[in-house]
Amino acid sequence: MRIIVSGGGTGGHIYPALAFSKTVQKLDRQAEILYIGTERGLESKIVPESGIPFQTIDITGLKRKLSIDNVKTVIKFLKGVKESKRIIKEFKPDLVVGMGGYVSAPVVYAASRLNVPSLIHEQNSIPGLTNKLLSRFVDKIAISFEDSARYFPADKVVVTGNPRATEVLGRDGKRGKQSIGLDLEKTTVLIFGGSRGARPINEAVLKILSDFGTRTYQVLYITGEIHYEAVKREAALAGNAENVKIVPFIHNMPEILAGTDLVVSRAGATSISEFTSIGLPSILIPSPYVTNNHQEKNAELLQKANAAVVILEKDLSGKRLLEEIDRIVDEKGRLEQMKKAAKSLGVQDAAYRLYDVCKSLVKENAKK
């Protein structure tokens, strides 16, 4: 099977795309995959490092307000469709898969114009603009949350979950702890705000660094590279608590998650798919700066199932965060209850489900 995968802009689109691609390569040794992204997007660095062939088109996203830039974007979109058609004709894919982000729009649309089977995958509970627009042109729409179905044509929707959920399974948590110098026996709380960090989370954590030093649990605090030096200075002033490990970035996140007992983070769809896949309790602080406030909606789904506690950014403080961490860790049986609740929401075989949908589409097209 030959597949073109497209998606970019943020890790929330790229990492599920790569997880899906790796699963295809694992299940079909003859499969050939081509990833289409942009030169400026995060995918231009991450995808080539994964070893998957990568090509680019020139495209930018639409502004939500009326702007002359949108005229330029429409022109780029049309050029992007033309370029995508050329790539599709050269690669001759059996299927085109759009994983979200504006780069996938011209690629998936070009596939529909060339009568190549196409599918889009939606990671969030509330769909992004690109997938809403593409939904009328594709053959199938794979969703991560059942709540997303109401935004799409019912006859096209299939619930697969997020492919990243499959990739984090079966990792060695002890190895993860050892890699970062953590105590193998202590309850571990992981705090992070994404690859670049999150200033409001960092500000709250800085106020309770010395308090962590009096707790029986240990804390792994991933600051993001931008904030690391400032946080280290503050930690030194607070006395550098022995049970707090501060790092700018983690490259083996699946192993670290496997060794974590409670995580504090934003509520991005990919992160949530990872947490629920392995049954990881969480304190979620949704970013209020994302489109359609989808992170808050994502977080609410976990909170309703008692798999997470949600703190809105406007209500976040060091004191509140410390109280919630202490309450979850100290309350007998609470972590285990939250773990079971989280796991009940997970779709561990998500990547395999998506692969099965792709195979079915290709077979149906072959019969035409």
| Residues in binding site for UDP-N-acetyl-alpha-D-glucosamine | 10-12, 124, 195, 250, 295
Torsion of CA 322, 325, 327, 330, to 10 degrees: -120
Contact 137, 109 (CB under 8 A): yes
Angle between helices 104-113 and 68-91 (to 10 degrees): 50
State the amino acid at position 132 in one-letter form: K
Annotated binding-site residue numbers: 10-12, 124, 195, 250, 295
**3-class DSSP assignment, residue 265:** strand
The edge-to-edge listing of strands for the beta sheet with 244-247 is 244-247, 218-222, 188-192, 262-265, 282-284, 308-310
69, 85, 90, 23 alpha-carbon torsion, rounded to 10°: 80
Q: From CA 104, how far away is CA 123, in angstroms rounded?
A: 14
**Helical residues (DSSP H) of the chain, grouped into ranges:** 11-27, 43-50, 68-91, 104-113, 129-134, 164-167, 173-180, 199-206, 209-212, 228-237, 253-258, 269-278, 294-304, 318-330, 334-345, 350-367
Greatest extent of the chain over all pairs of C-alpha atoms, in Å: 70
Rounded CA gap, 160 and 352, in Å? 8
User: What's the rounded Cα separation, in Å, for the pair 127 and 121?
Assistant: 10
